Amino acid sequence: MSTQVPETQETEESEAETETESVPVAQQRRQQRKADRRERVEERERERTEEEAASDENRYHLKVFRYDPEVEGKQEPRFDEFHVPYHKGMTVLDALMYARDHFDSSLTFRHSCRQAICGSDAMFVNGRQRLCCKTQLSDLEEPVRVEPLPHQEVVKDLVVDMEHFYDQMEAVEPFFQTNDLPDGELDEQRQTRENREKVKMSTRCIWCGACMSSCNIAAGDNEYLGPAAINKAYRFAMDEREGSDMKEHRLRILEQEHGVWRCQTQFSCTEVCPKDIPLTAHIQELKREAVKNNLKFW
């Protein structure tokens, strides 16, 4: 027994010494990790500073329309200027987002998918209706002048009221209608390849409103259906699955006083369409269909 007690004491003393020694080691490790983190942060700051210095040499000059009817001092329309650092592949929408996030958080505009599908960011850029997410800054001359779509009421900054545009689209009943359904509950209502090809381009419309904004007739005639709505009607009027009775119904909507006959074939809608839809050609074809529908041989 006398020999075991000292061994136990020596073991406890050695463990205590080890614990005592491990404390400063752990502290050193924590301090080293902090130093490493600090070094990484400083490195990122240096890289950011270098990038900003480089970008100062390559900034794009933007002139952006501003208007806010609810804020005193901003009720008079004006243009604000922003100098945005450019990177390869940068779009007008990217530049607007940078200006909003870094210079003026009150800058207001619509955007969503950023892939030229939603149609929400159509604006008037350098004198032409364009989708901002699709328009490369490198393709434009400076200063890049960004305005809301013409011929529409401005709500704030680059946002316009689209209510009238949507009303015109709804006026042509833009949904599939037919009385000729298949007999079987699970049978498909088939469409020929040729007919699908005929209406394919018209289905690309993303309701951006660029064509309506570019149309001089729509600017002077608030009741004119407009190229977007007529194109949507074309998509269904030319669909063979709806049947002749429904096609006649659609043509009666389109041949009204403010329908297809108001088009003066200026091609402005076709030129600005971001999806390359031959809008003017579709309108002219509907005119021919309306004439044929009204021909009487007795």
DSSP letters spanning 180-210:
---SSTT------HHHHHHHHGGGG-----H
Residue 154 and residue 170 share a domain = no
Residue 124 and residue 214 share a domain = no
Residue 96 and residue 205 share a domain = no
pLDDT for 38 equals 82
Angle at 105 between CA 104 and CA 106, to 5 degrees: 90
Which domain CATH number covers 117? Answer: 3.10.20.30
pTM of the model: 0.76
Residue 277 maps to a domain:
yes
Cβ atoms 171, 224 nearer than 8 A: no
100, 205, 103, 206: which is closest to 159 by C-alpha? 100
Which residue numbers in the chain have pLDDT < 50? 1-5, 16-17, 53, 298
Residue 35 maps to a domain:
no
Using DSSP, state whether 174 is helix, strand or coil: coil
Using one digit for the tens of pLDDT, what is the confidence trace for 119-141? Answer: 999 999 999 999 999 999 999 99
Using DSSP, state whether 160 is helix, strand or coil: strand
- Domain count of the chain? 2
Cβ atoms 274, 122 nearer than 8 A: yes
Residue 208 maps to a domain:
yes
Residue 133 and residue 256 share a domain = no
Residue 225 and residue 210 share a domain = yes
pLDDT for 296 equals 62
Residue 151 and residue 273 share a domain = no
Structural domain of residue 109, as residue ranges? 59-159
Q: How many CA atoms lie within 13 Å of 48's alpha carbon, on the beta-carbon side?
A: 6
pLDDT for 5 equals 46
Residue 227 maps to a domain:
yes
The label of the residue with tokens 């579709």 reads 282
Residue 106 maps to a domain:
yes
Residue 256 and residue 133 share a domain = no
Cβ atoms 274, 134 nearer than 8 A: yes
pLDDT for 52 equals 58
Residue 251 and residue 211 share a domain = yes
Residue 170 and residue 266 share a domain = yes
Residue 83 maps to a domain:
yes
Which domain CATH number covers 171? Answer: 1.10.1060.10
Tokens representing residue 190 in the block: 């088939």
pLDDT for 2 equals 45
Residue 27 maps to a domain:
no
Residue 243 and residue 208 share a domain = yes
Residue 208 and residue 260 share a domain = yes
Residue 195 and residue 122 share a domain = no
Residue 38 maps to a domain:
no
**CA 115 remoteness from chain centre:** 6
